[in-house]
Amino acid sequence: MFYAACCIHNDDYDRGGSESDRKAADVHLFRNCLHRILLCQFSPSKTAHLVIIALAYYAAVKLMGNHYFIYRH
């Protein structure tokens, strides 16, 4: 479901940059996940379930992404 969004996020992390670049990459991941969910026009309950999963992805990259993001100064 979120494969493309995750690939884009990985590319953003590989490109690296500043802390604000990392934040933008994480927000972009969440927005791409939401966009994918809304395009599929699922039932309200399935949509809610997938939004919770997208939030979990976002929380995970916020908590642990600093180990993988390439910081450039």
Per-residue pLDDT of the chain (73 residues; tens, 9 = 90+): 999 999 999 999 999 999 999 999 999 999 999 999 999 999 999 999 999 999 999 999 999 999 999 999 7
Nearest to 34 by CA among 56, 59, 2, 73: 2
Q: Check residue 73 and give its pLDDT.
A: 79
| CA 18 – CA 9 distance, rounded (Å) | 15
**Residues 6 or more apart whose Cβ sits within 8 Å of residue 17:** 70, 71, 72
- For residues 32 and 8, the answer to whether their CB atoms sit within 8 Å is yes
pLDDT at 25: 98
pTM, 2 dp? 0.92
